[in-house]
Amino acid sequence: MTVHELAPGYIEAAAEVWNQVVEDGRAFPQTELLDGRSGAEFFAAQSFVGVAEEDGEIAGLYILHPNNVGRCGHICNASYAVRRNLRGRGIGELLVRHCLKKAAELGFRIMQFNAVVASNSRALALYERLGFVRLGVIPGGFLNKDGIYEDIIPHYYILRKEDDHES
């Protein structure tokens, strides 16, 4: 399996995988599904979109973008989506590891996840294993598709140490 930048010919397939997570209603804040046009616009607005591909099929993807602007523009954010029938095979970890390297390459210093849903045990275990730091709990910060509010757990990861100076 390889991870590479999203190519224009893969936009609809990437939107399909993204939409599966949106439809599940248990991890992403978005409620609107992407189509070919809105998917192209959404993916183009990111700093980078990486896709995991296996045998010509998009197995998963991530979006990477600034978490804020100006004096906080060095902090990035990312979201990950894995095709339903391929979850549990380590694709998420492959995507996160690629994303962390890409974020550092793009000059970001910190990765911040604003809203990791408390019931997303696979993601929480992965982030802990990779060295992300939990920032606390926001009670009822996520509205699940079933109408039940659930806690979210923000995280961060240092991509570049403060003593790293630009040359």
Which pair of structure tokens corresponds to residue 74?
């060095």
- Which pLDDT tens digit goes with each residue over 66-121? 999 999 999 999 999 999 999 999 999 999 999 999 999 999 999 999 999 999 99
Structural domain for 146, as ranges = 2-158
Q: Residue 137 corresponds to which tokens in the numbers above?
A: 């709990």
- pLDDT at residue 163, as a whole number: 56
Whether residue 36 is contained in a domain is answered as yes
Task: Give 77-89 as a DSSP string.
Answer: EEEEEE-GGGTTS
Bridge partner list, 113: 155
Mean pLDDT of 127-150: 97
pLDDT above 70 (res 55): yes
Mean pLDDT of 43-62: 96
Contact 120, 85 (CB under 8 A): no
Tens of pLDDT, residues 30-50: 999 999 899 999 999 999 999
Based on the structure, what is the number of domains in the chain?
1
Q: Is residue 131 pLDDT above 60, yes or no?
A: yes
CATH number at residue 11: 3.40.630.30
What pLDDT does 167 receive? 43
Cα(59)–Cα(93) distance, rounded to whole angstroms? 12
The answer, yes or no, to whether residue 162 has pLDDT greater than 90, is no
Mean pLDDT of the chain: 94
Residue 20 lies in a domain: yes
pLDDT of residue 160: 82
Residue 166 lies in a domain: no
Does the pLDDT of residue 161 top 80, yes or no?
no
For 46-155, where are the alpha helices, taking DSSP H only? Answer: 91-105, 121-130
| pLDDT at residue 165 is higher than 60 | no
Q: Is residue 165 part of a domain?
A: no
In-domain check, residue 164: no
Does 167 map to a domain?
no
* Cα atoms found within 13 Å of the Cα of residue 158, Cβ hemisphere only: 5
